[in-house]
Amino acid sequence: MTSTAHASFAQRFAVPMIALSSLLISVNGLLLRSIDSASQWQVIYARQASFVLALMLVLGLQYRRELPRMIRDVGWPGVFGGISLAGANTGFIVAMSHTTVANTLFTLSSAPLITAVLAAVFLKERIARVTLIAIMVAMTGIAVMVWDGLSGGSVIGNLLALACALCFSLFVIFLRLGKDRNMLPTSIIGATLGVIVGLLGSGFDFALSARDFGICFVWGAGVVSLVHILFTAASRYVPSAEIMLLTLIEFTLGPVWVWLAYDETPRPMALAGGLVVLSAVAGRTLVMLLSQRKNAPVTPP
């Protein structure tokens, strides 16, 4: 199939592809809770090693001899982007090991708002009024979850989830700083660093059960790799506001899967704070969508 055919397919099915990627990645918490005996650090290195091997295979088949040059060309934005991505992936697993999946995902859903603040600082982009309002509302919700964590013993997990959101936002900023080059290899750098962090954290303990390794392999080489491919191929054809709205599928369904399978329910106060954060992000996204459609040029029939 030619690249033109690939582009045509991605253009035609861009929105369903983004939605499918969000649906697939929503099983993150469910897969982590399905682990039997592996430590959080073993999960990190096994998941990331599986992902980087699958990604290297896909990119190697796609770019062949050009791949080493592409890795070199990402420059310092790619290096710092990879460090940020490694921090986000590591923080994500560790946060869910110290608090509920719901708390982690609700906090992580604030990443678009954090990205807007960082873009104003580093890229000199103006923050819209609706974004400022959403940030204040979301900060209130996050504060409620952190406060609840003080009494529920999950404050460390909540703060780690916030750090994860910050790292992911930094990853987006570095991608935009390197937009003049192909930044796909940044994911290879981030995943490789994640493997190293996991190995160091586990004390180089490779002893995973066959079941736990199988879950990590399906998670990294299957789910994460497929999500990465779908999102990368389709995101260029979908407005950013629509992408943000579709990614709310992950943050909404993720806690549901864990609740159905393992009866893991967030505390009422944490749930209320999380719903405040989700509402702030969803409200800002809907306002952005309406504004884009209102200002879109009208084409003659």
For the stretch 148-196, pLDDT in tens is 877 666 789 889 999 999 999 999 899 888 878 778 888 899 999 999 9
User: Residue 71: which residues within 8 A CB-CB, separation 6 or more?
Assistant: 78, 185, 188, 189
**SS3 (DSSP) at 34:** coil
C-beta pairs of 49-52 under 8 Å, 24+ apart in sequence: 49/191, 49/195, 49/198, 49/220, 50/216, 50/217, 50/219, 50/220, 50/221, 51/191, 51/220, 51/221, 51/224, 51/225, 51/228, 52/188, 52/191, 52/192, 52/194, 52/195, 52/220
| Residues 283-295, mean pLDDT to the nearest whole number | 76
Range of the domain at 55: 17-294
Residue type, 176: R
- Does residue 2 form part of some domain? no
- Does residue 42 form part of some domain? yes
Q: Work out the mean pLDDT of the chain and round it to a whole number.
A: 86
pLDDT for 53: 94
- Does residue 4 form part of some domain? no
Supply the pTM of this predicted model: 0.86
User: Residue 230: which residues within 8 A CB-CB, separation 6 or more?
Assistant: 17, 18, 20, 21, 24
- Does residue 7 form part of some domain? no
The model's pLDDT over 112-124, given as tens digits with 9 standing for 90+, comes to 889 888 988 888 8
- Does residue 11 form part of some domain? no
- Please state the domain count of the chain: 1
